[in-house]
Structure 1
């Protein structure tokens, strides 16, 4: 019987963490075809079930908006790197049950009750750790994920190895001395993963079987604090913190209408350098390497051709939509979805459609 032929393109794609602003590859990852370094998994691969795991690895995710984010998937990818060659089970701890938990690499899913305050959520995660005794617990090193990781570390009286940028079953590496050095250690129990450093799982889907959470930890009602997020006007959110940004370029002439559309969409408005240089929008709204570099989930560019410095500013954006009359514009090439049309004509049409739906 002849051996199956390797697919080098698929093997390379399996270890790519990010394509822009420059390609980042995690060659330690075992996802998909790279898992054993040989053949490509068939398209209809069976679901992997680990009935009797040697130990557990927890992956604690935020699931903002009710779906697994890019960073959440990287947390699951990191957890799979610690699974002892497939002998351990990865348990996803999340505030909901994502439909693609198995495809993202979860063997089990533990749905935690939604909490209005971070201390109660940390207590729930700490209770799950005490009940199941995982060997490793992986968090996202983000604003909320990092806060949760440190609260859990304090409750468990254990050290947290934070902002890990490279991970394997034998070693975790994080920056030290303001990035001038590296701190290497065997993977500890509690660790958090920096964004866009470790590839998400791209191998066979796992079973994602439900697991009951432990009993709610007792809390002193007199000391309990209920917190809820305050609504914030999207226009007041800093560009580097915004999740949804729309920007105007030289193809936009009605900037009042553009700002009205941003409010209707709940998006943070921005602009190209040409627009800000002309004074049509304030300098604080400039998107690009010479303005603000975005870390958004979605970016919509109206009438922006895509100068190199502007493309550098949207390098890590997950989804890009471009509206431009030039089919060969660099922004059209960068976009996941392109609308070849006059941006100034599309703006009022969208605004009218949103008004009709309201």
Structure 2
């Protein structure tokens, strides 16, 4: 958008009367300048998108509301699934997979196994104790379901020993976690295999780990049994793999010598869990005024309640509930932020959370940008709506 820009000198010369000793000017002569001058306000008004409360500009030059681009579904090809029919060797993986879902460390474990398998034409075989979702996208070629009664670690170690003897994999990888690390050490003691625990770098030729309080680094060729430390390898990011289910190897395990009579999971109230151990955390920020309703929503969701620093500074939530670099750094699978804008120290506290859900009225809040799912609304109105939905779902 532009308008004519005046040139005072040119206008004066155009209005000068000829044949006069002293300068005389015509006042009725129009300006003759052809130079153009931009009008930013008129340009913004022309680019404004109608029907929105927040200022939005259409930089494409189209008039009216922005139209979503059309996608030609016929041109979108289905992802190619990679199939390894005759592998040269096997790399087995034993993920934790709590609740039948791959944890971040499990995905890193499959990424490391994929690197070892691709180095020489091998295949990745997952040994699972139950149904696990998303193994093909994570890089698994084969899946073997093993039986283990009630999660007894001795029984699981015996089942893994049978699979190790029958399949003869080149490597068996387990996560260096509370459950995976214990299982790897039981398996090493049962089979006599050398265990390379806590590998922080793993390739087909070299495995490294820190030692002596991280003052030195141990290196060597990776043995058959290896546990991988967290954040030591990237997850698989290539094409999905077949994840073909095959029969479990046959064999009879010796009766485990254990004093464990039964194993069961005892329910723990979510609000009694420390934030560092919680798997699902819901936090309140400045957008929350009714904290009784917030606690009711936390109980309905089965989530551990947390809060931002400003809420804890105001005394509305205990200091132990503070989330952030100056409070508790979370390892939760899901983080639900209500009315939290997302200060830098708070974002540091949720950096390791796998899924983040944010409710905020500000579309451009830092927490909304961090979230995988965002609801642009008032958190005070969202909370009773969620409680009503959960109540109706429980009554069905």
Q: Which band: TM-score by shorter chain?
A: 0.7 to 0.9
Corresponding residue number in structure 2 for 1:60? 94
Checking the alignment, whether the CA contact within 8 Å between 2:83 and 2:241 is kept in structure 1 is: yes
Corresponding residue number in structure 2 for 1:279? 315
- Structure 1: runs of 5+ lacking an equivalent: 1-41
- Give the 3 Å change call, closer, same or farther, for CA 222–91 of structure 1 in structure 2: closer
Q: Which has the larger radius of gyration?
A: 2
Following TM superposition, by how much is the alpha carbon of 1:49 offset from its aligned partner in structure 2, in angstroms? Answer: 2.8
Which secondary structure state, in structure 2, belongs to the residue aligned with residue 232 of structure 1?
coil
Matched, 1:110 2:137: no
Which secondary structure state, in structure 2, belongs to the residue aligned with residue 90 of structure 1?
strand
C-alpha separation in 2, matches of 1:314 and 1:139: 26
Following TM superposition, by how much is the alpha carbon of 1:133 offset from its aligned partner in structure 2, in angstroms? Answer: 1.4
Which secondary structure state, in structure 1, belongs to the residue aligned with residue 137 of structure 2?
coil
C-alpha separation in 1, matches of 2:388 and 2:134: 35
- Structure 2: runs of 5+ lacking an equivalent: 1-75
**Match of residue 244, structure 1, among 274, 277, 280:** 280
Following TM superposition, by how much is the alpha carbon of 1:248 offset from its aligned partner in structure 2, in angstroms? Answer: 0.5
C-alpha separation in 2, matches of 1:112 and 1:257: 45
Corresponding residue number in structure 2 for 1:13? none
Which secondary structure state, in structure 1, belongs to the residue aligned with residue 359 of structure 2?
strand
Aligned residues between the structures:
317
C-alpha separation in 1, matches of 2:117 and 2:258: 41
- Give the 3 Å change call, closer, same or farther, for CA 247–122 of structure 1 in structure 2: same
Q: Which moved more, 1:102-111 or 1:264-273?
A: 102-111
> Which has the bigger relative contact order, CA under 8 A and spacing at least 6?
1
Instruction: Show CA shifts across 1:134-188 (max 9, x none).
Output: 1111001111111111111111122321222221111112222333332222111
Q: How does 1:108-147 map to 2 (within 5 A)?
A: 108-116=142-150, 117-147=152-182
Corresponding residue number in structure 2 for 1:173? 208
Corresponding residue number in structure 1 for 2:358? 322
- Give the 3 Å change call, closer, same or farther, for CA 43–105 of structure 1 in structure 2: farther
Instruction: Show CA shifts across 1:93-129 (max 9, x none).
Output: 1123445322221121111124321111111111111
C-alpha separation in 2, matches of 1:335 and 1:257: 23
Which secondary structure state, in structure 2, belongs to the residue aligned with residue 102 of structure 1?
helix
Instruction: Show CA shifts across 1:192-223 (max 9, x none).
Output: 11222211112233222222223352426996
Checking the alignment, whether the CA contact within 8 Å between 1:97 and 1:109 is kept in structure 2 is: no
Matched, 1:336 2:372: yes
Corresponding residue number in structure 2 for 1:270? 306
Checking the alignment, whether the CA contact within 8 Å between 2:148 and 2:159 is kept in structure 1 is: no
Which secondary structure state, in structure 1, belongs to the residue aligned with residue 226 of structure 2?
strand
Following TM superposition, by how much is the alpha carbon of 1:78 offset from its aligned partner in structure 2, in angstroms? Answer: 0.9
Which secondary structure state, in structure 1, belongs to the residue aligned with residue 136 of structure 2?
coil
Instruction: Show CA shifts across 1:284-308 (max 9, x none).
Output: 1110000000011110100111111
C-alpha separation in 2, matches of 1:84 and 1:327: 43
Following TM superposition, by how much is the alpha carbon of 1:263 offset from its aligned partner in structure 2, in angstroms? Answer: 1.3
Matched, 1:259 2:265: no
Following TM superposition, by how much is the alpha carbon of 1:44 offset from its aligned partner in structure 2, in angstroms? Answer: 4.7
Q: How does 1:31-42 map to 2 (within 5 A)?
A: none
Matched, 1:197 2:232: yes
Matched, 1:305 2:338: no
